[in-house]
Chains A and B, each alone.
Chain A
């Protein structure tokens, strides 16, 4: 099972000091957080994509490419990549580039984005969110899986004889997760392609997660990708830990009470009961996290949110230390002991290449723009 962290990439005032970090500071910090994640033995770092303040992460592949250059093992992912407002051609190109530079340590998670005004800024309409996600992803698959693509759809200009470059590393596209909180259409899409399904699992009651994952597993089996319990499931989670439970609650409460998304609403205690948020000792986090399995089954990826709501970098790095030293080693052992042998791990570049066989990724297009010649003529 993979463990990691994901960042929403918010720039938020620290409510305990009144200090707001600059974008420059947060961007540097997120790189530090990713490197720390690898150092403490976590497997995955995932970064969000936003196109409006107070978020800084408009261009995840730039950041992830930089992180790739400074890490060895860490799997790089997104949470999420906007399949609605991005041109699928640009997604295909950007992530294939990243895949080559990162030596295959790349996957990505598709999301629709829920901020209405962002859509028209990119020439789209939020009311078309689902059809955009369906059509754009269908095109993205074609661009990665076929060397030469002819395409015509509702949402972008047609493509004739188009080759997305570079071709995916070893001819194998990055693994894709689809994230959605409550749209069955997206779980259906993930199941149809045999891709992974990720549930945000923070900010929302576990009941949403349970129903979506059940539905995805059932449809994954329906489409013939394997048994329902072999479907690839990822979950989010939000934790804050200190050795003593009450210290964690006291320290996190001002961040909780003023947080974007849920601040100034329910109490920390109410929200911890209603959602998977866990604030307490490492042991409490271990127990709560193991309990996720009770309603989603054996799953492949657990990402924690640890760097939002204005928490200072020092605190975030301490949280990563606790995760790496005390929490994840126990979770790894316990989850592994519970998981039946026929349940697969999350796909990686190596496992996908092993399953498919590496293919020569060079393109044999009929002609190229530079010489105007077909490769066989040029030879």
Chain B
């Protein structure tokens, strides 16, 4: 069986954070859904990128134009993944600046065609459509394939029993199924090598 890599990007700022909690729930459900499709847990690698740990690295990258040694493995994890779980808190009606900065420094062509599951958290469910009006266009621009279900969790969703938390569990389940379906249906991701893929000079000259 081919190995699959899931990259989890979590932009939560507190430790522990509800954003990370949602990311972990989505990840566990995705791994389980992949297993139901014949991808054993041993064949799935999960790499979690906590953006808080890279806050300064990301600011440096904006200024210098390159990722430093701490940030490079995080970018490689995401650009080399078979599927991405991206979760952000909603700030001022949209994804957080830190979350956006991470996807600003990823090469704009590096995520083309990759399956993405989006998640977001906030204090109130009134923010939930930010997933659809802000986050989905970002991933559309990056030409990723986003699951139809995006998962939003407000504070009330984490509250014990009742309809709200039950609803969250079923949304997580549905979204994870959708992501697993997309990942399992694709061949494992190959990392592009700009040097191996470089055109010969004859091809370059022929192109002008």
Residues of B contacting A211 with CB < 8 Å? 195
Whether the pair B198, A188 counts as a contact (CB closer than 8 A) is yes
Check if A134 sits within 8 Å of B204, measured CB to CB. Answer: yes
A185 to B195, CA, bound (A): 9
Cross-chain pairs A/B with CB under 8 angstroms, 25 sampled:
A131-B207, A134-B204, A134-B207, A135-B208, A138-B208, A155-B208, A184-B195, A184-B198, A185-B204, A188-B199, A189-B201, A204-B65, A215-B195, A262-B63, A262-B64, A263-B63, A265-B63, A266-B64, A266-B68, A270-B68, A271-B64, A273-B69, A274-B64, A274-B66, A274-B69
Q: What is the predominant secondary structure among interface residues of chain A facing chain B?
A: helix
B200 at interface by CB-CB < 8 Å: yes
Query: In the complex where A215-B195, A265-B64, A266-B60 touch, is A138 in contact with B205 (Cβ < 8 A)?
Result: yes
Q: B residues near A, CB below 8 A?
A: 59-60, 62-66, 68-69, 194-195, 198-201, 204-205, 207-208
Interface residue? A203 (CB, 8 A): yes
- B68 to chain A: closest residue by CB: A274
Beta-carbon contact of A192 and B198 below 8 Å: no
CA distance A261 to B64 in the complex (A): 6
Chain B residue contacts of A134, Cβ below 8 A: 204-205, 207-208
Bound CA–CA A119/B66 (angstroms): 24
A211-B195, A265-B59 known; A188-B64 Cβ under 8 A = no
| Shortest Cβ distance from A155 into B: residue | B208
* B64 in contact with A203 (CB, 8 Å): yes
Chain A positions 193-227 with a Cβ under 8 Å from a chain B Cβ: 203-205, 208, 211, 215, 223
Residue contact B63 to A266, C-beta cutoff 8 Å: yes
How many A-B pairs have beta carbons closer than 8 Å: the answer is 64
Q: How far is the CB of B40 from chain A (nearest CB, A)?
A: 35
Taking A138-B208, A203-B64, A274-B69 as known contacts, 20 extra A-B pairs with beta carbons closer than 8 A to each other, sorted by chain A number, are: A130-B204, A131-B204, A134-B207, A134-B208, A135-B208, A184-B194, A184-B195, A184-B198, A185-B204, A188-B204, A189-B201, A192-B201, A204-B65, A223-B201, A265-B60, A265-B64, A266-B60, A266-B63, A273-B69, A274-B66
The 3 closest A-B CB pairs, nearest first, are A265-B63, A184-B198, A192-B201
- Chain A residues closer than 8 Å to B200, beta-carbon distance: 188
Q: Which of A160-203 contact B (CB under 8 A)?
A: 182, 184-185, 188-189, 191-192, 203
Separation of A149 and B195 alpha carbons in the complex (Å): 34
Q: Which residue of B lies closest to A214 (CB)?
A: B195
The main secondary structure of chain B at its interface with chain A is: loop
> Does residue A333 face the partner (Cβ distance < 8 Å to B)?
no
Closest to A261 in B: B64
Contact B204 A189 (CB under 8 A): yes
A261 and B65 CA atoms in complex are apart in Å by 9
Contact with B along A251-290 (1 / 0, CB 8 A): 0000000000111111000110110000000000000000
Q: A153 at the A/B interface (Cβ < 8 Å)? A: yes
Q: Does A342 contact B (CB under 8 A)?
A: no
Q: Which residue of B lies closest to A222 (CB)?
A: B200
Question: Whose C-beta in chain A lies nearest to the C-beta of B202?
Answer: A192
Given known A134-B204, A189-B204, contact A264–B63 (CB-CB < 8 A): yes
Known: A188-B198, A205-B66, A215-B198. A270 touches B204 (CB 8 A): no
For residue A154, CB closer than 8 A to chain B, the reply is yes
Within the complex, what minimum Cβ distance (angstroms) separates B60 from chain A? 4
Q: Are A188 and B66 in contact (CB under 8 A)?
A: no
What chain B residues lie within 8 Å of A273 (beta carbons)? Answer: 69
Instruction: From B65, B199, B201, B205, give the contact of A203 (CB < 8 A).
Output: B65
Residues in chain A near residue B194, CB distance under 8 A: 182, 184
One digit per residue, 1 when the CB lies within 8 angstroms of any chain B CB and 0 when it does not, for chain A 111-136 equals 00000000000000000001100110
A114 to B202, CA, bound (A): 25
Report the Cα distance A340→B62, complex, angstroms. Answer: 42
- Chain B residues lying within 8 Å of A262, measured Cβ to Cβ, are 63-64
- Asked whether A185 and B208 contact (CB < 8 A) given A266-B68, A270-B60, the answer is no
Q: How far is the CB of A116 from chain B (nearest CB, A)?
A: 14
Q: Within 8 Å CB of B66, what residues of A?
A: 204-205, 208, 274
With A and B bound together, what is the CA distance between A253 and B118 in angstroms?
42
